Amino acid sequence: METATQKNPTVVTIPVSVHETEKVRGAEVLIKGLIANGVDTIFGLPGGAVLHIYDELWRYREQVTHYLVRHEQGAVHAAEGYARATGKVGVALVTSGPGATNAVTGIATAYMDSIPLVVITGQVPSGMIGTDAFQEVDTFGITLPVVKHSYLVRNVHELEDIVNEAFYLAKEGKPGPVVIDIPKDVTAQLTEYRGPQNATLVFEAERPKPSVKSVELAVEKILAARRPVFYVGGGVVSADAADELARVVEILDVPVTPTLMGLGGFPTAHPQCLGMLGMHGTYAANLAVAESDLLVAVGVRFDDRVTGKLNTFAPNAEVIHIDIDASNIGKLRKPQIPVVADAKEALAALADRFAQESLGKDRLADWWEQINEWRSEVPLSCEYSETEIKPQQLIETLHKVTDGDAVVVTDVGQHQMWAAQFYPCKRSRQFLTSGGLGTMGFGLPAAMGAQLACPDTTVVAVVGDGGFQMTNQEIITAVQYNIPLKVVIMNNGYLGMVRQWQEMFYDRAYSEVDLSVSPDFVKLAEAYGAKGLRATTPEELEDVLRQGLEYDGVAIIDVVVSKEENVFPIVPAGGESRNMILK
Amino acid sequence: MRHTISIIVANEAGELSRIVGLFSARGYNIETISVGKTLDPRWSKATIVTSGDDTTIEQIVKQCSRLARVKEVKAVTTLPHIEREMALIDVSVTRGDERQEVMSLVNIFRAKVVDISHDKMILEMSGTQDKVETFIDMLKPLAINEVTRSGTVAITRLSALEGSEYALQRAA
Ligand SMILES: Cc1ncc(C[n+]2csc(CCOP(=O)(O)OP(=O)(O)O)c2C)c(N)n1
């Protein structure tokens, strides 16, 4: 049992150089601090407590572009989309009180998926804190359980260091959201801005390397395994470790299964990729894990949507768990070999070691034979219909018309799972989704942020008719700033995923899932000044998708699909993952 | 299993609530908590008594270590260590023999009388949690009016020096 930890101080103090600087107000320190940390894009919505900050933003508008969202949840999701698509820190700015509470869902979404964000919230003036002042909430307290770190700035002289540290913390180690709550008076007070050259604190992020011993132990186990599987997750994506992963698994010729968050971390079309595992994972992936004798878990957290019933998950496997976050290791499954390290460093170390071994070509021939049998036994597939568009067909056609190159941003529900199953990813950061929190409303604003981050790539939000209506107000933001976002609504007239569970596990009692009364999404798009299109038949699907995707501007494509299609395979919640319902 | 965890955390507003919040969010129990400055006033040491199996304690240590302003976390109960708790106890002593009885308990337990009036005494008792509890228990036949307990504080023994706060501060 690991029962003591001690950290190397991450902060290096450098003496302050004696120099004369002009005093500036807190708001300007903040903006200069953002710029010094490489920020040129922020998402937000103003209010009383952040007026000084917005005043400075106006002065610095050539250097920092602010995108005015229509709801603060949209600002944080957009910042997340930006961060997920690039690995850079996303930034959102909101006012006190309701501005901050509206941002909480986004902050929690980022927290669960370890996405680097800096969220700046206004606060009532210092002297009024604790008096139930107008638009006062305890933002520090409300966000406490869903932030990596947070600050309530009490002194303007600390602000510059706080901003620098916030950016460092958001990215360092396991990334996450950092909140800076700034009372209004602090943004008006004067202080010196020292700038990066004269910084008193220097933050150096380093990627923790695996210990030599843990690598040796892992190598030994991996070479001895007869039925190994690499189970890889979001940690591979956030460490940008896809190349190192490919190197290791190609040398070893082992099967790989990504989690929902790991999609893209290993190319889906790679012959060694078994597809996603878990609740809606492939037959081959779930069986391979169930039968494995060694799981090499990289940047994953044994989430219940992956494992199903925990004590029957990979019951005969030993586990090597590589994670940058020691608290993830042993939290749910005790590994035989824990490796606390950055995924990129650990995989590189493994690859270097295996490169020295001479591995027999058909080392794992029996294992592959078994796996290939499962693959052909139950491949991912769906039967198309003459009259209705099948949701899987929608994703397959989308894959076709985008040449498999689009960044796909999903919302949460059935469409999310079909997108995960039927849009093979080629690269990291190509599939952006709210995995941990499962936040409906994430898709559209996150896609907007991703599109800004990747102006030369087609970015498609794939959303349900339910989740679309949770944040569709951001269409106007995309229109206003000419962000050529494409939104595909998989319109099944239901809160589909909930309906599926009611059908399968509650005797078809469709309690409060009917969305047949919805706005006309084409007219809605037009009302926003976007292009609206609709596909209702299989014949027109491809053509309508092409028209929408080729449109130079925001396009909302309403695709009416069969209403009661279910996502398969499915492992019922808490079930044993080898017991998949296949249709 | 009962465990005592010691955490060195920045002596800044809100940092303690982050630790307490983590305990409640993850369903860990806090039996006692006590906090005070370390030698270096920029850091505080919190001593938390909690309970859980080995996996839970390991998780608590790791989860607390993740916090940005936490410098060191130790499950001191896994190391040679010393623990103390203090209690202040207000008892009624209306008859002369009651006062006698209290005094003899005070002597046996090496407690102290810190305040006295015609019909009451305030006693100070420090020792292991067990000893404090036994003392209170022994006083129960008398009328105890109020008990204030400090919660446990702990320190690792010099024989467990490596990595201790003492060693850290000497090295610094
Ligand atoms: C904010 C939020 N509220 C509720 C849920 C629960 N939930 C999960 S999936 C789902 C249905 C989503 O329906 P829709 O957006 O139409 O997508 P579909 O499943 O039909 O593809 C619901 C309500 C959620 N994940 N997020």
Q: Assess whether A448 carries a catalytic annotation.
A: no
DSSP codes, A219-281: HHHHHH-SSEEEEE-HHHHHTT-HHHHHHHHHHHT--EEE-TTTTTSS-TTSTTB----STT-
Give which of A6, A178, A321 to mutate to test B binding, by max B Cβ within 10 Å: A6
Q: Which single residue is written with the structure tokens 């907007």? A: A448
Q: What pLDDT does residue A358 have?
A: 85
Q: Is the pLDDT of residue A11 over 50?
A: no
Contacts of B59 in chain A (CB under 8 A): 327, 330-331
Instruction: Indicate if the pLDDT at residue A478 is higher than 80.
Output: yes
Catalytic residue among A266, A497, A568, A580: A497
CA distance to partner chain B, nearest, from residue A144 (Å):
7
State the pLDDT at residue A19.
53
> Token pair of B82, please?
């010393």
User: What per-residue confidence (pLDDT) applies to A9?
Assistant: 45
Per the annotation, the verdict on A542 as an active-site residue is no
Q: Is B56 on the interface with A (CB under 8 A)?
A: no
Identify the band that residue B90 occupies on the pLDDT scale cut at 50, 70 and 90. Answer: very high
Q: Do B75 and A4 touch (CB under 8 A)?
A: yes
Q: Do A149 and B78 touch (CB under 8 A)?
A: no
- Chain B residues touching residue A338 (CB < 8 angstroms): none
What is the nearest CA distance from B34 to chain A, expressed in angstroms? 19
Compare all CA atoms of chain B with the CA of A144 and give the residue at the minimum distance.
B18
Mean pLDDT of B72-88: 95
User: What's the confidence (pLDDT) of residue B172?
Assistant: 45
Predicted pLDDT of residue B165:
52
Q: What pLDDT score does A361 carry?
A: 77
Mean pLDDT of B103-110: 97
pLDDT tens digits for range A385-408? 999 999 999 999 999 999 999 999
Q: Does A201 touch chain B (CB under 8 A)?
A: no
> Got the DSSP string for A113-131?
TT--EEEEEEE--GGGTTT
Cβ neighbours of A325 in B, within 8 Å:
66
Indicate the SS3 state at residue A503. helix
Phi, psi of A315 (to 5 degrees): -65, -25
Active site residue A184: yes
The closest-lying atom of ligand 1 relative to the alpha carbon of residue A467 is: 15
B38: confidence class by pLDDT, cuts 50, 70, 90: very high
Tell me the H-state helices in A313-390: 343-355, 365-377
Cβ-count burial A514-544 (b if 16+ within 10 Å, e if not)? ebeebeebbebbeebebbbbbbbebeebeeb
Q: Which chain B residues touch A145 with a CB distance below 8 Å?
A: 21-22, 25
A401 and chain B in contact, CB less than 8 A: no
pLDDT above 50 for A14: no
Q: Which of A159-168, A559-568, B163-172 has the lowest mean pLDDT?
A: B163-172
Whether residue A569 is preceded by a cis peptide bond, meaning omega within 30 degrees of 0, is yes
Task: Dump pLDDT digits (tens) for A259-271.
Answer: 999 999 999 999 9
Q: What are phi and psi of B89, to 5 degrees?
A: -125, 125
Ligand 1 in reach of A466 Cβ (< 6 A): yes
Location of structure tokens 């007219």: A523
Q: How far apart are CA A318 and CA A231, in angstroms?
A: 13
Residues of A in contact with B161 (CB under 8 A): none
Model confidence band, residue A21 (pLDDT cutoffs 50, 70, 90): low
How far apart are the C-alpha atoms of A318 and A334, rounded to whole Å? 9
Strand pairing partners for A203?
A11
Identify the structural domains of chain B with CATH numbers, from first to last. 2-79 (3.30.70.260), 82-153 (3.30.70.1150)
Q: Indicate if the pLDDT at residue B169 is higher than 60.
A: no
Nearest ligand 1 atom to the CA of A441 is 1
Interface residue of A3, A114, A203, A301 to substitute, partner B, most B CBs within 10 Å: A3
- Judged against a pLDDT cut of 80, whether residue A234 lies above it is answered with yes
Instruction: Give residue-wise pLDDT tens across range A108-143.
Output: 999 999 999 999 999 999 999 999 999 999 999 999
Ligand 1 midpoint to CA A396 (Å): 22
Among B11, B15, B53, B58, which would you mutate to test the A interface (most chain A Cβ atoms within 10 Å of its Cβ)?
B58
Q: Is the pLDDT of residue A205 over 80?
A: no
In this predicted structure, the answer to whether residue B167 has a pLDDT above a threshold of 80 is no
Q: Tell me the C-alpha distance between A1 and A17, whole Å.
A: 46
Mean pLDDT of A510-535: 98
Per the annotation, the verdict on A72 as an active-site residue is: yes
> What does the mean pLDDT of chain A come to?
95
Q: Is the CB of A496 under 6 A from ligand 1?
A: yes
Count of Cβ atoms closer than 10 Å to residue A206 Cβ = 11
Q: Would an 8 Å CB–CB cutoff place A145 in contact with chain B?
A: yes
Atom 23 of ligand 1, residue of closest alpha carbon: A495
Residue ranges of A 305-334 with Cβ closer than 8 A to chain B: 325-327, 329-331, 334
Ligand 1 centre and the CA of A435: distance in Å?
13
pTM for the model stands at 0.94
pLDDT classification of A487: cutoffs 50, 70, 90: very high
Q: What is the pLDDT of residues A83-117, one digit of tens each?
A: 999 999 999 999 999 999 999 999 999 999 999 99
CA nearest to B172 within chain A: A9
Query: Across-strand partners of A151?
Result: A180
Q: Which residue of B has its CA nearest to A169?
A: B68
Spell out a b/e string for A267-296, using b for 16 or more CB atoms within 10 Å of the CB, else e: bbeeebbbbbbbbbbbbbbbbbbbbbbbbb
HEC states along A6-18?
Answer: ECCCCEEECCCCC
Q: What is the predicted pLDDT for the residue at A18?
A: 46
Alpha carbon distance A230, A259 (integer Å): 11
* CB–CB contact A327 B62 (8 Å): yes
pLDDT, average across residues B9-37:
95
CB < 8 Å to A177, chain B: none
Query: What pLDDT does A201 receive?
Result: 75
B99 touches chain A (CB under 8 A): no
What is the reported pLDDT for A12? 43
Active site annotation includes A135: yes
Dihedral sign (CA A58, A61, A63, A68)? positive
Residue B150, min C-alpha distance to chain A (Å): 24
Question: Per-residue pLDDT averaged across B100-122, rounded?
Answer: 96
In this structure, what DSSP letter does residue A200 have? S
Q: What is the pLDDT of residue A13?
A: 44
CB-ligand 1 contact for A498 (6 Å cutoff):
yes
What separation in Å is there between the alpha carbon of A17 and the centre of ligand 1? 55
pLDDT confidence of residue A362: 87
Is the pLDDT at A500 greater than 60? The verdict is: yes
Q: Is A165 helix (H, G, I), strand (E, B) or coil?
A: helix
